[in-house]
Structure 1
Amino acid sequence: MASSTVTSSQPDRPPQPNLVFRRLRGQRSPAEFAAAIRRAAREIGERVSCDARYIGRVEAGEIRCPNYAYERVFLHMFPGRTLTDLGFAPRSSVRGRRARAAGDTSAQRTTNPARAGSETSGAYEPYDTQDPYDPHDTHEESDVLRRAFMTGGGATVAAASLCPLGLAHDAAAAQRPVRHAGASDADALEEAVRRIRLLDDRHGADGLYRRAAAPLRAAYALLEAGTTRRTTADRLYAGAGELAISVGWLAHDSGRFDDARSHYAEALATARMTGDAAVEAHAFCNTAFLARDAGRPREAVRAAQAAQRVARPLGSARLMSLLALREAGGWAGLADRVGCEQALVRAQVLYERGPSDADPEWMSFYGEAELEGLEAQCWSALGDWSRAARHARRAAQLQDPHFTRNIALYTAELADDLARGGQPDEAAAAGMRVLDLLAEVQSSRIHTMLAGTARVLLPHRRASEVSAFLERHAGLPRPA
């Protein structure tokens, strides 16, 4: 481990828990508090990728002082307070850069703060972009983290920046030999997963999938390189499994079902190699969803039931609720109304038990809106259009604005249910709202749903609202 070149008057010490921040969270789960922070950020025009793990690191004292973006958000959320009032250390006490001698600048730039002494470790939050406007912010990040996901906004720019793990975009570069992997590599791998999910929530999968293959190959190259610490190895395997699932989801949402199936199988194998029940349950969960969409409902039921067996000891009622919904989707595809209704009841009962610290980080999308949306899909598969439309409308109304793709998805579901339920004007209006959202969202799945709705509405094309929708839909660029 490299020693810090930053002068410090204080000895290394273990992090002290931030009890003030924990009290501010109150009865909210880490995931719920993270969602509140993201909402507050949007209110002031900031973009932070806060999640349950970040909250945990702050409360554990690993992040002694947040970066400038988070500072602005926290001070907006808790007006009248300072960072120290929120339990953080003063920035001057953790930022070593002001203590650097002017003549020693070049040597300092090679220092990896992720491996330095405690006065620089945790001085900034490496999971989000540093403030680009701070003229004093010359503090160097790890080479891995510095090049990971420095996005500029928008689906195209975001996709072009998908280069986690500090490797080049091309496949050859992703397969170059790497040194032994360390904790900073595990950090970057976990951030790769986090950033992909964040961008997918906002923009959909089509613009991201093609750029995500190289990071996945890089992740498995790190596994092949090995590591000297078991804890780091476990993090790398878990991160690689979660990244495979994330890339599989991008393939799934882009209509590349065979690719998705392969990625989910890869994640499942990775999880089983290390006995990681959490990643295994996640892989089975997505496999069930894929099987339903691919027209294999019996496989969807089996995969969802397997996921529930694996996940039961994990202690997350919300996870078990989602898995029950995956099972319900399979039963609906088999036209088994009784089996579907029984699974839906289990999902609702489990959901009402509330969130807990055992809920996986990747489940941040699963709230009441998703519960309603998945139930809408079940009723739609069973041909109960009015009930499906009722749940789809509620899903779109409840969805956090952060999840733009899901709002488009639920509204597309609503449009289709209304069209098939004999309400063409309302269906066309909902379809128009989806078309508005497609300026931000790239999802082949949503395009496919909307195309089906357009076909159902064709016999009603003389109605003015339907005609306007069909004309605008006909001019829509199709996904590549």
Structure 2
Amino acid sequence: MASSKVTSSQPMPARPPRPNLVFRELRGQRSPAEFAAAVRRAAREIGERVSCDARYVGRVEAGEIRCPNYAYERVFLHMFPGRALTDLGFASRASVRGRRAQAPDETPGGHEPYETQNPHDPNNLHDPNNPHDPHDLLGHHEIHALHETCEESDVLRRAFMTGGGATVAAASMGQMGLAFDAAAAGRPVRRPGTSDVYAVEEAVRRIRLLDDRHGADGLYRRASTPLRAAYALLDAGATRQTTADRLHSGAGELAISVGWLAHDSGRFDDARSHYAEALATARMTGDDGLEAHAFCNTAFLARDAGRPREAVRAAQAAQRVGRSLGSARLMSLLALREAGGWAGLADRTGCEQALVRAQTLYERGRSEADPEWMSFYGEAELEGLEAQCWSTLGDWTRAARHARRAARLQDPHFTRNIALYTAELADDLARGGRPDEAAAAGMRVLDLLDQVQSSRIQTMLAGTARVLLPHRRASGVSGFLERHSSLPRTA
């Protein structure tokens, strides 16, 4: 009797890929290259880095990529809000995970296609065309840690799907800290490798994403865990210089991100300490980009803390070091930081000159030199920062005009910023003698506070409420005041 040609040890033939016609329809009249450029722009808007090209778009449309990696998922859901992956023609993540261990006689790659990293990226360990063996790039423990990071990402994703608001943000931040427990607890730390760099860089992106959506108050204390761990990894010392450089940069950016959470939640002394830590890290390694970022945030903090002259000097220092980076958008933001300092000094001429410079530089457009952390800086932020300058100078009409534009232009992804600009608008309208409009804007902010926790925004609303107290009889004012008075007070 002839033996069967297919035995249990032989892999089953792979199913031919099914074209993703939904994704092709979403591309519309744009060429694959044009659509890839749109994907890269969308990624920058939310602080992601993807090397999307026409070939990647073609692979998606051909069905070769049944489910994108997490970075691409975030970008696609940002591009097409309100849709799930399955609405974009992808298979559900659960159906393509293939996490079981591979048997000794199992053919590598025999599972359903599942993109865990960008295909054909030199760092993509799952790309069959990658000439490197994974163990040439990552040690055994590093590969294990990378898989743990993937598992942890699923925990976070499920939390966002089943929960909502700032409570979920805080829980997610706590889950992220679990990945760093060994280092944070002070136990001996092995010499860091590539997976540790990935973890630190992902922590920075996660914090920025959560802050954009929910504000800082529920995140700050939890974010200190990965920050302590990052500096513990630095102390352990990386074997490779390239790994050490990336780890220094990542730790510095993490210090700035945690500093911003402290800043936005009113902990100015803590923020100053974190920014100084980032500045020291930048100067030790000669990282001009990190130094410019640290000075940028220091200038913003100094303005908010009532030290306008320090704000001007820090912004000017940031511009000196930032010129070599080749980013007009960065220089535009730094000019706005300087304008805020001049406004605090009641120097209208200095403020106006810096604002003109900021606008001119902004109009030069984006470039590849723009830092990743500047994904928040678009036309809405430009308008919002200018509104703050005019408000500080007491020009309420002009301030309200720019704040209104900022709220209208802001991408819906940045919930916190929408609340911030609208709170600025409410305050400017109240101080400008338009109490009914101010109350309406204040109500819109109150509607967002179940999603956003920011001491800065709550402080602004409290100031607006005080200004509106004498106008209780104006349309809508009493309703706003009653609703505002029922808010739980932050500690």
| TM-score range for the pair, normalised by the shorter chain length | 0.7 to 0.9
Say whether 1:261 aligns with 2:269: no
Say whether 1:378 aligns with 2:379: no
SS of the residue corresponding to residue 157 of structure 1 reads helix
CA apart distance, 1:144: 4.1
For 2:284 and 2:75, the matched residues in 1 are separated by 41
Q: 1:453 aligns with which of 438, 460, 464?
A: 464
Taking the TM superposition and a 5 Å limit, the aligned residue runs for 1:15-414 are 22-26=33-37, 30-32=40-42, 34-35=44-45, 51-55=47-51, 65=65, 67=68, 70=72, 100-101=102-103, 118-119=127-128, 141-147=146-152, 150-151=155-156, 152-153=159-160, 154-162=165-173, 163-164=175-176, 166-167=178-179, 173-414=184-425
Q: Tell me: CA distance 1:415–1:73, structure 2 relative to 1, closer, same or farther (3 Å).
A: closer
Q: Deviation per CA, 1:267-319: give whole Å up to 9, x if none.
A: 00011111000011000000000000000000000000000001101000000
**Contact 1:408 1:434 (8 Å CA) reproduced:** yes
For 2:75 and 2:124, the matched residues in 1 are separated by 28
Q: Tell me: CA distance 1:301–1:60, structure 2 relative to 1, closer, same or farther (3 Å).
A: farther
Q: Deviation per CA, 1:46-102: give whole Å up to 9, x if none.
A: xxxx645224699899x9956366479769979xxxx9xxxxxxx9xx998699338
For 1:73 and 1:445, the matched residues in 2 are separated by 28
For 2:433 and 2:154, the matched residues in 1 are separated by 46
* Structure 1 counterpart of 2:136: none
* Structure 2 counterpart of 1:108: none
For 1:232 and 1:416, the matched residues in 2 are separated by 47
**Contact 2:316 2:338 (8 Å CA) reproduced:** yes
In the superposition, the TM-score normalised over structure 1's length comes to 0.77
Letter in 2 for 1:30: R
Say whether 1:418 aligns with 2:423: no
Instruction: State which structure, 1 or 2, has the greater radius of gyration over its C-alpha atoms.
Output: 2
Letter in 2 for 1:361: E
Q: Deviation per CA, 1:184-227: give whole Å up to 9, x if none.
A: 11011100000000000000000100101111000001101111
Q: Tell me: CA distance 1:149–1:406, structure 2 relative to 1, closer, same or farther (3 Å).
A: farther
Q: Tell me: CA distance 1:95–1:416, structure 2 relative to 1, closer, same or farther (3 Å).
A: closer
**Contact 1:148 1:188 (8 Å CA) reproduced:** no
Query: How many percent identity over aligned positions?
Result: 74
For 1:60 and 1:275, the matched residues in 2 are separated by 36
Q: Deviation per CA, 1:141-169: give whole Å up to 9, x if none.
A: 52345335832123212212324475466
Q: Tell me: CA distance 1:76–1:223, structure 2 relative to 1, closer, same or farther (3 Å).
A: closer
**Contact 2:177 2:225 (8 Å CA) reproduced:** no
For 1:29 and 1:306, the matched residues in 2 are separated by 34
* Structure 1 counterpart of 2:15: none
Q: Tell me: CA distance 1:199–1:76, structure 2 relative to 1, closer, same or farther (3 Å).
A: closer
For 2:77 and 2:315, the matched residues in 1 are separated by 43
In the superposition, the TM-score normalised over structure 2's length comes to 0.76
Q: Tell me: CA distance 1:74–1:145, structure 2 relative to 1, closer, same or farther (3 Å).
A: closer
Q: Tell me: CA distance 1:165–1:254, structure 2 relative to 1, closer, same or farther (3 Å).
A: closer
Letter in 2 for 1:334: L
* Structure 2 counterpart of 1:131: none
SS of the residue corresponding to residue 483 of structure 2 reads helix
Q: Tell me: CA distance 1:58–1:260, structure 2 relative to 1, closer, same or farther (3 Å).
A: farther
Structure 2 segments unaligned to the other structure (5+ residues): 1-10, 12-30, 86-92, 108-115, 118-122, 132-143
Q: Deviation per CA, 1:224-244: give whole Å up to 9, x if none.
A: 111111111111000000000
For 2:218 and 2:145, the matched residues in 1 are separated by 30
**Contact 1:424 1:466 (8 Å CA) reproduced:** yes
CA apart distance, 1:116: 5.3
**Contact 2:213 2:415 (8 Å CA) reproduced:** yes
Root-mean-square deviation (Å):
3.6
SS of the residue corresponding to residue 206 of structure 1 reads coil
Letter in 2 for 1:212: A
For 1:231 and 1:199, the matched residues in 2 are separated by 29
**Contact 1:34 1:55 (8 Å CA) reproduced:** no
Q: Deviation per CA, 1:410-434: give whole Å up to 9, x if none.
A: 0000000000000011001100100
Structure 1 segments unaligned to the other structure (5+ residues): 1-6, 8-19, 36-49, 84-90, 106-111, 123-138
Q: Tell me: CA distance 1:315–1:150, structure 2 relative to 1, closer, same or farther (3 Å).
A: farther
CA apart distance, 1:182: 0.5
**Contact 2:183 2:233 (8 Å CA) reproduced:** no
